[in-house]
Amino acid sequence: MKIISTTYENNQKNTITKETKLCDGEGGMQCVNIYPEYEYQTFHGFGGAITEASGYAYSKLGKANQEKVVEYYFGEEGNRYNMARGHIDSCDFSLGNYSAMTDAEDIEMKTFTLKRDDKYIMPLMKAAQEKYGEALDLLLSPWSPPAFMKTNGEKNHGGKLKPKFREFWAQYICRYIEEYEKRGFKVNRLTIQNEPAAVQSWDSCIYTAEEEKEFIKDFLYPALVIKGLSDVKINIWDHNKERMVQRAKATIDEETDKMIDGIAFHWYSGDHFESINLVRETYPKKELLFTEGCVEYSRFGTNQLHNAQMYAHDIIGNLNAGMTGFIDWNIFLDEKGGPNHVNNFCDAPIMIDTQNDTFEIKLSFDYIGHFSKYIKKGAKRIAYSKYTDKLEITAFKNPDSSIIIVMLNRNDQDLPVTVDISNKVFETVVNKNSIMTAVI
């Protein structure tokens, strides 16, 4: 058995454990039961977004530090990410608005080019995949179609996809996937639109549930089939949790059910773990992917302990509700929290000083690692019970049958714990304001 504990106050890892015989007597008053025989969803893995901003910040490091930061995320001794999210054309974390083509008359897409992706995104994507050692599980998401396809004539400030361009936009997305695959990156998943209910000052486009359903059914899914890309999994919504039940019910019907593989969600409107659970109960065969969450400076500030705990609390709640994959937002940002072409600066688990060839690893990186290093691809969530609501817990069984227990204590007092797994019992203490992972 191995226990990994991160205590913020001392900025160190502690191991406090001893074996005992029974979870009764005094131990029964602080018991955590783990039930490996009760299995729930299968987990796909952890990852982060490789944006133009991340690639730009990464490009400003020297070769030695580039090697180090990629190792931290994707290497054997790192957080062991196996998933990544990319953006189709520009997003807010780009150096500016751009599209792969801008000529509305170019129906053959002769001017289509990924020169922007090739400059900053592809080098980082390649380094990450090589470090991981096999193909990353890659998701692509669009923030906005090219301006000429939209009702407002620009990439920013919402607007909608013009009906006459729906077929062309579907073909455009397919072309994007094909170009990524030509470069050696297998696209496994796709979302229809990032945050389709939000008019943003950056790249954005609005879809109602009916519009999203029609686009999938009549244009995107048929285009993927024709192009031989039907193995690319389609995830709907890609927005906050509080409306994911309503969106799923309005978009998935007898006809679209076979076309839709899952529901993607973000965290910006609060916990709403019950929404994830309701979708899981209603659509038990669909994957439920967390595709974006970050520490926005304008909302959450820079307190590292608070922000790291926010990550762990959300991951635990999402996992226990049925989440099947976790993809963080930008893996790297610069010293300002960008680049971001509308100054929507945010934190990232690793921040890069682009002027001095240095980087800072935030506490959030370590907290995410308590999950991503130990819960393997193909793991199944298992059942537990706990003695107090002050302790947040999730538990998984890996393909090699090892048991992973992650325990979070966001309180200002230590919590003693007696863990019982099939009558094998150990005692430990989850220190105040700490996170602990047990590997059995």
pLDDT tens digits for 177-191?
999 999 999 999 999
Check pLDDT > 90 for residue 387: yes
276-316 pLDDT, tens per residue? 999 999 999 999 999 999 999 888 878 999 999 999 999 99
Residues 6+ apart with CB under 8 A from 27: 20, 418, 425, 427
CA dist 25 and 68 (Å) reads 49
Confidence (pLDDT) at 6: 87
Average pLDDT over residues 43-54: 98
Q: Which of 48, 228, 271, 60 is nearest to 139 (CA)?
A: 48
Q: Which residue has the higher pLDDT, 80 or 12?
A: 80
Residue 25: pLDDT band (50, 70, 90) is low
Helix (H, G, I), strand (E, B) or coil at 419: strand
Per DSSP, 121 falls in state: I
Q: Which of 369, 392, 334 is nearest to 46 (CA)?
A: 369
Percent of the chain with pLDDT over 70: 95
Angle at 394 between CA 390 and CA 309, to 5 degrees: 55
Confidence (pLDDT) at 36: 98
In the CATH hierarchy, which top-level class contains the domain 44-374?
Answer: alpha beta
Q: Which CATH architecture best describes the domain 2-40+382-439?
A: Sandwich (2.60)
201-235 pLDDT, tens per residue? 999 999 999 999 999 999 999 999 999 999 999 99
**Which regions of the chain carry the CATH code 3.20.20.80?**
44-374
Residues 6+ apart with CB under 8 A from 32: 384, 385, 386, 387, 391, 393, 405, 407, 417, 418, 419, 420
Check pLDDT > 80 for residue 26: no
**Which regions of the chain carry the CATH code 2.60.40.1180?**
2-40+382-439
Angle at 209 between CA 207 and CA 210, to 5 degrees: 95
Residue 393: pLDDT band (50, 70, 90) is very high
Confidence (pLDDT) at 15: 46
Average pLDDT over residues 61-82: 98
167-177 pLDDT, tens per residue? 999 999 999 99
Check pLDDT > 90 for residue 44: yes
317-329 pLDDT, tens per residue? 999 999 999 999 9
Residue 21: pLDDT band (50, 70, 90) is low
Confidence (pLDDT) at 13: 47
Angle at 134 between CA 130 and CA 136, to 5 degrees: 90
Q: Residue 143, Cβ neighbours under 10 Å: how many? A: 23
Residues 6+ apart with CB under 8 A from 107: 168
Residue 11: pLDDT band (50, 70, 90) is very low
Q: Residue 374, Cβ neighbours under 10 Å: how many? A: 21
Check: CB of residue 407 under 8 Å from CB of residue 435.
Answer: yes
Its pTM stands at 0.96
